[in-house]
Structure 1
Amino acid sequence: MDGEYQEVYIRNSRGVQLFTCRWLPFSSPKALVFLCHGYGMECSGFMRECGVRLANAGYAVFGIDYEGHGRSRGARCYIKKFENIVNDCNEFFKSICAEEEYRDKCRFLYGESMGGAVALLLHKKEPTFWNGAVLVAPMCKISEKVKPHPLVINVLTRVEEIIPKWKIVPTKDVIDSAFKDPVKREEIRSNKLIYQDKPRLKTALEMLRTSMSLEHTLHEQVRLPFFVLHGEADTVTDPEVSRALYEKASSADKTIKLYPGMWHGLTSGEPDGNVEIVFVDIITWLEKHTSDDNSVIVQPIHTYRNAILKMNTTASPPQTINKQHQQQSPRPVRTQSHRRYFCGLKGRRLQHHSAM
């Protein structure tokens, strides 16, 4: 099946230019999938395979680079308020859902790592709007054993408005520990749109606060159908985070699958055979949850306050999406354990891991 790739620039409510992209099947899409990328990452290059594979399967896929990320404007990888990311995604995603050709389609969120937190906060913002979410190694809880001491947080909070953009948070090279395949690892490292410097002070604090806030609302406010996937050998985000999400969430329809031996980059850093297995699982779950019975018509909503969607005049020409063979994989496992976990980002107490 062939498809089309497009790039569009928009302006958010704060007047910042943001980059968006989309992968569209030529036929009417089965449903809409909205990508939420991880910390420091971007959509057009890093998440291209995800967009292509889902479009090949018949889905319309939409991505946005957060402010300060990828090809969007703003201080590089500076998160002044995590809420800004959520609001920008919410406005853009809803503007797509309100288009006449998409108003009767099912709507799914897809979040990787920090993008998993964005997806969950979008659901929290409007609990009945989304038909489901795919969460890949999500950042939604932080381990007690790696959480900074309250006194440390207090000291950093006192200076965050004085030196908010300082790159003072120690970190190790996450690319080496996140992506198993050495060739893919180097391709990611050569992607200049991916932020590879130390996290900024305020950025790290905003991510910490978001994780801590989410962990206290998993039971009450996560109710949508979701599929959470995690590599058991992930050393960037703890796989027990996904188990905690699965066990605590109030969702009646929830599925978890842990992949033995796989690392953090399930869809982008594993050998091709493993990546194939993961995408077959994701598409199988989407197919199961895509039906006319699940769709809810979206009423027209306002456009962006300071801009209108505009095609990028310097964008790449539409690209042909080549059909790829998909092999069968074991059915996702639904676990029944009810143990309690306090888990999350792995690492030393004062060390920050870029949640990709």
Structure 2
Amino acid sequence: MQRCASVKTICNTMAECCCSSIKNKDGLTVFTRSWMKDKCNPKAVLFISHGVTEHCGRFHKLATILQENDYAVYGHDHVGHGNSDGERIHIDDYQTYVTDVIQHVELLKSKHPNLPLFIYGESMGGLITAMTVVERPDLFTGVIFSAPAIVNVNVGFFKYYVLKVVSYFAPHHIVLPYVPKIITSDPEEVKGLIDDSLICQDGLKAKWSLATLDAQYKVQQRIPEIQLPFITLHGSKDRVVDIVSSHFLMDHAKSEDKMMKVFEGSRHTLLHDIHKEEATQVVLEWLNKHCNKDASKL
């Protein structure tokens, strides 16, 4: 596979980054990455769930910093993304994404049976994360959401049914273009998005968009089941996922330990925007705090 060959070359230049793959339950190859210091006994594990069009390699900077702080970090490219198999940005049901995450995380639990395990979900990955933690809360110690795509304020009843018709007759029709400049306000990061050959820049298809809305409607009903500790991060100028999604989490999740952090002036991908250093530090500090809490229970 051409995409895999190019990324494996990159990975060989990344300190302590290992590339591999797993077969999902549909027989598709899911490309994986892991970051862990050699001969290190990590204090906790973090699984990363990336956003639409992207891939887990986009989190290399965060993973490297966490690695240096004795975390083991893992992620995979969701099917139809990055180096994984599957038609680009096309899915019939989000349960495919969720099942793959659960399969991967179960492998990590068997590899690190006594360690706290956290999950980080950004945008679409935040929606997948919410679905995963309501289905299998037993797998996780805590959750980090970043601009989680849980609520769509732009699609009402009429637009939904128009989309349903379009997705039936033309499932691959592009309904939303890919616009890097609304994802981040940092010009260098915008250029990085444009130059990244692993990012699918074709736009969002009708069937994928319908599956996203269906997943959002379903998970909104189950958000009150979330009792795990979590933090949700959001940019005040996010035009991709409205900040109402993070407020929805705060208002409806039953977690006693929950926190929201708003980054003024930031757009969608907080780890690649004007406050990226602060956002990274917030993630590290939250993980450290909750690792210590988990350790105190042992």
Across the aligned residues of Structure 1 and Structure 2, the Cα RMSD in angstroms comes to: 2.0
Alignment of 1:272-287 (within 5 A): 274-287=275-288
2:17·2:33 contact (CA, 8 Å) conserved in 1? yes
How many aligned residue pairs are there? 284
1:185·1:269 contact (CA, 8 Å) conserved in 2? no
Q: Given residue 283 of structure 2, which amino acid in structure 1 is its aligned partner? A: I
1:162: how far off?
4.5
Distance in 2, Cα, partners of 1:293 & 1:105 = 9
2:19·2:33 contact (CA, 8 Å) conserved in 1? yes
Establish whether residue 78 from structure 1 lines up as the match of residue 86 from structure 2. no
Q: Which residue of the partner structure matches residue 289 of structure 1?
A: 290
Distance in 1, Cα, partners of 2:279 & 2:144 = 11
Q: Which residue of the partner structure matches residue 271 of structure 2?
A: 267
Distance in 1, Cα, partners of 2:163 & 2:139 = 37
TM-score normalised to structure 2 length: 0.89
Q: Name structure 1 gaps, 5 residues minimum.
A: 298-356
Q: Which of 228, 236, 239 does residue 243 from structure 2 map onto?
A: 239
Percent sequence identity over aligned pairs: 29
Q: Is the partner of 2:22 in helix, strand or coil? A: strand
Q: Which residue of the partner structure matches residue 68 of structure 2?
A: 56
Q: Which has the higher helix share?
A: 2
Q: Return closer, same or farther for 1:167/1:269 CA change in 2, 3 Å cut-off.
A: farther
1:35·1:62 contact (CA, 8 Å) conserved in 2? yes
Q: Given residue 84 of structure 1, which amino acid in structure 2 is its aligned partner? A: T
Distance in 2, Cα, partners of 1:156 & 1:280 = 40
Q: Given residue 53 of structure 2, which amino acid in structure 1 is its aligned partner? A: G
Q: Which of 171, 181, 184 does residue 189 from structure 2 map onto?
A: 184
The structure with the largest alpha-carbon Rg is 1
1:293: how far off?
4.0
1:287: how far off?
0.4
Establish whether residue 249 from structure 1 lines up as the match of residue 259 from structure 2. no
Distance in 2, Cα, partners of 1:149 & 1:196 = 28
1:294: how far off?
5.1
TM-score normalised to structure 1 length: 0.75
Distance in 1, Cα, partners of 2:173 & 2:253 = 35
Establish whether residue 157 from structure 1 lines up as the match of residue 157 from structure 2. no
Establish whether residue 112 from structure 1 lines up as the match of residue 122 from structure 2. yes
Q: Which residue of the partner structure matches residue 36 of structure 2?
A: 24
Establish whether residue 131 from structure 1 lines up as the match of residue 141 from structure 2. yes
Distance in 2, Cα, partners of 1:295 & 1:41 = 37
Q: Is the partner of 1:257 in helix, strand or coil? A: strand
Distance in 1, Cα, partners of 2:82 & 2:297 = 32
1:108·1:133 contact (CA, 8 Å) conserved in 2? yes
1:128: how far off?
2.7
1:142·1:215 contact (CA, 8 Å) conserved in 2? no
2:116·2:294 contact (CA, 8 Å) conserved in 1? no
Establish whether residue 38 from structure 1 lines up as the match of residue 26 from structure 2. no
Establish whether residue 168 from structure 1 lines up as the match of residue 174 from structure 2. yes
1:141·1:214 contact (CA, 8 Å) conserved in 2? no
Distance in 1, Cα, partners of 2:113 & 2:133 = 18
Q: Is the partner of 1:290 in helix, strand or coil? A: helix
Distance in 1, Cα, partners of 2:157 & 2:90 = 23
1:104·1:295 contact (CA, 8 Å) conserved in 2? no
Distance in 2, Cα, partners of 1:123 & 1:295 = 23
Distance in 2, Cα, partners of 1:195 & 1:296 = 43
Q: Which of 218, 236, 241 does residue 213 from structure 1 map onto?
A: 218
Distance in 1, Cα, partners of 2:155 & 2:42 = 43
